[in-house]
Structures are given as structure tokens and as C-alpha cells.
Structure 1
Amino acid sequence: MSFLRGIRVRKWLLSVAAVVTTVAAAIGATQATALPVAPTPAPPVTGIPTPCLSTNEWPEGASIAEIQQQIEQRFNFRLGGKQWTEEYRPSIKILWETLDAMECTDYRTTLQGKYSGTVGINAARIRGYAWGDWSLSRSGYVSFDFEKFKQALADDDEGRLVRLVAHELAHVYNSDRYKGAQYWADFQKLYRQEGRFSDYAGRSVTETFADVVGYYVGRCALDNPYDTGEHDAYYQFAKEHVFGGKEFGPAPGEAMNCTVPKEGAQEPRPAQGAESQQTADWVSELTGE
């Protein structure tokens, strides 16, 4: 009897052990599936070390007409100008990838919402030295001269073009500055504290705003002011007030993995009329208007 009782006890212990093992395995599996999964890092695109994860990949192999249609549908811009041709495909790709790289933020939709109508992108020749402008060459359009873009592409300075695209769009974003926008009051106060940001912007507060935004996205642009590590306040403004915390590269002053532009690479010039606008902005700063 004691022998049989011992067998029963061993069977009972084995069954208990099996149950415990099953429960432990189930708990372990639950914990394993409950662990957070790290998001897939977005691969860098030309000129931007850490873009948004792509939601509108460049349609390799599509015709220019198809690409135009997709820009209008996916990014909600109307298009104009005569430079939407195969000759300028590399420049059109820079434009597309820059727009896509910012799509995890509300930058595009916010700036489009500030304009009464549909913002346009005009690919056309711009007189003088300017590579781009907002509503000067064509009212209601951000204009880009893709012929001039060829110079930056030849210099391996695609980051400069990324910065230019974000810069000109920033002028659209800033078009509500006379309507009592709080971000603009905050930026004017910051500008009075921090002063000059870039040679391009000079002493113009509106050009400074556009460059603070443009260089924030185009971190690989030649001579990016953020590379000096001296403009953290401007960097934080762009990060918090414009892009909702999204960063497109490392902190100011930290090294980045960028293609080095060729020696002597040229910087895009301000649009015609920019000097008079800078003077007007400077006077406005003095008068507090």
C-alpha cells in the first residue's frame, strides 16, 4: 500500500510541476509580447540625417507628369511653371524627399492652412541671383529655379537645397505674422535677445525666422549655423514651436554624417527685393511694429 501511495504522490507532483511549467511559460509569453517594440529608424535622405519615416516614397520610374500629379494629390500643392521636365528630375526628387521628410509633423498642413487658397509651387526661371522666393515671382506660389539647383547638385551640396525648400515654405508659414500670432511674438522677443543667425538672413527678422527653420531641417547644408553650437535657443524654438519636438539631426554642435560639399560650393542668394524687405523689417523692429 505504501508503495502504491508513493506512486500516486509522484504522479501528483509531476502533474503539479507540469501545470506550473505551463503557467510559467504562458506568463513568460505574455510578458514577451507585452514588451515595447522599438520603432524602425528612418533611413537618412539626401541632406537630412534623421527625416520622418517615409509615408510617400519617391516614385522611382514614374513619369514627370505622374510625379506632378502625385505631388498635388499627396502634398496638396498646386503646380505651375515650365521646369517640370525630365531635365530637372534630380531637383524634383530633392523637393519631394524634403516634403516627405517633414510629413510626421504638421509643418506643411499648418503653413497651408495659413493661406487663403491652395499654396502653389512654381518651377520656373527666376530673374537675378535668387534660387527661390515666396509670392514674388508668382503670387501665391513658392517659386524654385531648378536650373540654378544644378549648381548645388554639381557641388554635392544637396543639403543646401533642402534648407532652401524648408526656408521658402517658412515664409508661407510666417505669412500670418501681422495677425497677432503668438509664435511670432515669441520669435521677435527671441530675436531681440539672440540677434543675428546667418549671413543670408542678415538683420531681417523674417529672413532669420525662415533660416532658423530652413537650417533646422537642412542640417547637412554647407556652413549650417547650428554646426557652431552657438544657436541652441533658435534650435529649441524651431523644435518646440514649429516642428512639435521632431528633430532632423543631432543637437547643435554635434557631428553628423553628411556628404561634404565640394570646395567653393555656392550659397543660394536672397530673392530680389530682399534687401528692401530687410530694411523694412529692421525699421519695424525699432518701432515695435
Structure 2
Amino acid sequence: MVNIRSLDPSASPLDYYGSELRRLREAAGLGQSQLGGVVFCTGSLIGQIETAKKVPTRDFSERIDAALMTGGFFTRLVGLVLRSQLPTWFQPYAEMEAKAAYISTYQSQMVYGLLQTEQYARAVLGVEQDDRLEEMVAARMERQRILRRDHPPVLWVVLDEAVLRREIGGRRVMRAQLDYLLTFAREPWVHIQVLPDSVGEHPGLLGSFTVLRFDDAPDLFYCESYDDGHLTANSQVIRERSVGYARLQAMAHSPEDSAALIARVMEERYGPGAVA
């Protein structure tokens, strides 16, 4: 049976997407099953997206644009839809991250979100996300699109060595994640340093944090707790954390030595012959 649930287009980006998909599909004289056949999915999926029960993917949006000849409308809209799936407290940071010209981050527990593989992200988010896991993973992958822009932000990441050894998702997932980190050695705007265990006390002991810099706006400092994020433009905080970050960079291995360490851990700990 065709689902004809009424939507309020102003309720959310997802509701707007669904209402527009239904409107343009009907204007084209296509049923849900007919459109599904054209874009290689089921009519049921079309119905679920039209009624905001399912979050569309970017690939789906591109196929819909081609089928309905909408000039890229859904492809442009899906970014907003996916960003709206992020936790409410995290959305302000994600919006600023997408606008930043320079991102400096220290990560003590896990790989920074912009550098996570899909399977690594799925393992991280799956700890507490059951019913919305697919939406959350899609939203995290959408964030990473800023690194593929014509003019991406400069991204400087300092990872605690423990991040390399914390087995998230199993050995295969970790091996793929570390291998993915190594691919960024060829990208001039991405720099990864590893802070070795041997440094002892350091300015990042209080936890992960990020400093965002912009071409035409004040710098921002961001950190988060269990279920909340703190974003501030306080100049004193920015100054203190910037100095702390510079010290972390000085204590960490160089990007070249860090890549060598990542490769070594990948082979010794997660290689085919590694002992679990």
C-alpha cells in the first residue's frame, strides 16, 4: 500500500526533502514503484524517504536528480539533511568546522572524525547508536566532504599513540583505518603527527580538543564531554589552547616519523600474522 502520510515541509530538512520528492515525483507522473525502478531501488524505499522515515543517501539523491531532471536540487539538499542527523549539541561545531580555513586537533581516544573510515566510524558510533546507526554513519561521512573540496581546509591532527593501539571494530577494521591514515601523507593540506607514549605528562592530558581558524572570523575552541560540546571564542582560552597545541606538536613525532610509526603498528599489531 502506498504510504500517504502527510508531512510538514518546515518541520525539518528531512521532512522538506520528503515532501519535495513526493511533489516532483507526482509532477512527473510516476508512482513510487515506477520511480524506484528508474533509480534502482524499491518503491517502499521511495515511500519511506517521502514520509521522512528513512534518511536519503548522497548516491540516492544524485540518481533522483538524474531521473527527475531536477538540476542537482536533491544533491544540494542532502548535505543539509545529513547534517541535521548529527546530535543537536554537535551541529554548531559541524557547521563551523565546514567553514574553517585551518583545523588543529588533538585526539586522545580515537581517530578524528574527518579521517575515519566508514567501518571505523560504524564501530565507534555503534557503541551507543542502535536505531539510528546508519543515519549517524552517513552524517559522519558527509562531514568528510570538506576535505574533497577544491580548496579544503588545512587539517593538522595530533593523535595520541594509544589511538593506534586501541582496537576499535576488530583487527581488520583497524588495519584499514591505519592504512587510510597513511594515504593522507600525499595530501599537502593534511598533516598527522603521533604523540608517543614516552612523553609522559603533556598539555593534552585533560582530553581531546580542537581549534578552528577562519579567514574572516574569530578563532574558535571546541571540546566535548560525554553528551555535550563546548564551543567558545574566548580569546584567553584560544591563546592558552593554541600554546598547548604548539607544545603537543613539538613533543610529537614529525609527520614523516609518524607515518612510519603508523605503518609499523599496522603491520605488527594488525597484520595478517599479528597475534591478537
Same fold (TM over 0.5): no
Higher relative contact order (CA 8 A, sep 6+): 1
Q: Which has the higher strand share?
A: 2
Q: Which has the larger radius of gyration?
A: 1
